Structure 1
Amino acid sequence: MSVRQALGAAAAAALLLSVAPSAAALSDPYDQVTVDPTGHVAADGTVSLSGTYRCLSSTGPVFVSSSVSQGDPRVRHGIGGTSAVCDGAVHPWTNSEKRTPGTLTPGAAHVEATLMELRPGVGGLPLPAFHARQQQDISLTES
């Protein structure tokens, strides 16, 4: 399975769940994901978000996904996905996604980053296992 296919499966699984994971549903209390206080938006609509993550172990592929909202908190824009390595070390992540220019603009925004693993499920359908989640208000700056 390619990274793009895995990310598509991850996005579909996340949509099916449609509920953010609770702290009790997270895999390990030492797993973490952070969000940098500043993101970037380019004139062509490309949005870049970043931070760090750490996870101790996994049995399937792990990804850092992110979304951003601006204005209406019910409208979130998915911003890319990054493969993660669960070795106990802190690693940087950066996700970028091109949106229609003007959809997201410089200014205040709200980001959610999730560290999620795809574990084999019944019938081969990968099921999400959440390692960590962080929500944070940030500032999008023009780049």
Structure 2
Amino acid sequence: MRLRLALALGTLLLAATPTAATAAPARPLDRAGALLADGIAVDGTGTVASDGTVTLSGTYRCVDDSAGTVFVSSSLVRQDRSTGIGGTRAVCDGRVRAWSHSGVVEEPLRRAGAAHVRAALMQLVPGPMGLPVPGVRATEEADVELGPRA
């Protein structure tokens, strides 16, 4: 139950995340081009199945989860509507890893074509009264093209 609550809170927080202009960079690099810290990226394409299942994907890097559990979350945005597509637990070993989320969405979000995706690395940290609260470690916003699933 706490996990569902945390993911729901993370999705709400992600929906209120600042625009790409103020969001953290997807892949923080040093001058030599090496990854420095946490980051998340969104693939430029996704799929929509005939039943309305949208699949989004990308990569992330998480360095350390000693302060609390870390999740990858994603949401799909079209016009003034958005919906959470999914969330998975991140592996924080410093390696670049792939993520993929699928979820059934309603019209007008389920059609093929241009869309916008928000993704985030969220960490559960102890909050008031001992309940975990989400904190954002990295965010990414990207325009994607949703195509029909083969």
Q: What SS class does the counterpart of residue 76 from structure 1 fall into?
A: strand
Q: 1:10 to 1:123 in 2, by over 3 A?
A: same
Shift of 1:123: 0.8
Equivalent-residue separation in structure 1 for 2:109 and 2:14 (angstroms): 26
Q: 1:119 to 1:51 in 2, by over 3 A?
A: same
Q: Any gaps of 5 or more consecutive residues in structure 1?
A: none
CA RMSD of aligned residues (A): 2.4
1:6 aligns with 2:3: yes
1:61 aligns with 2:69: yes
Post-superposition CA distance 1:47-78 (Å, at most 9, x none): 000000001112211111101112x1x31111
Superposition misfits of 4+ residues, deviation over 4 angstroms? 21-24
TM-score, with structure 1 as normaliser: 0.83
Q: Is the 8 A contact 1:44 1:101 kept in 2?
A: no
1:48 aligns with 2:45: no
Shift of 1:98: 1.2
Post-superposition CA distance 1:113-136 (Å, at most 9, x none): 011011111212211121110000
Question: What's 1:31 paired with?
Answer: 38
Task: Note the 1:1-143 alignment, pairs <5 A.
Answer: 5-12=2-9, 15=12, 19-20=16-17, 23=23, 30-58=37-65, 59-70=67-78, 72=79, 74-100=80-106, 103-143=109-149
Q: What SS class does the counterpart of residue 6 from structure 1 fall into?
A: helix
Q: What SS class does the counterpart of residue 20 from structure 1 fall into?
A: coil
TM-score, with structure 2 as normaliser: 0.79
Please tell me the residue identity of whatever aligns with 2:5.
Answer: G
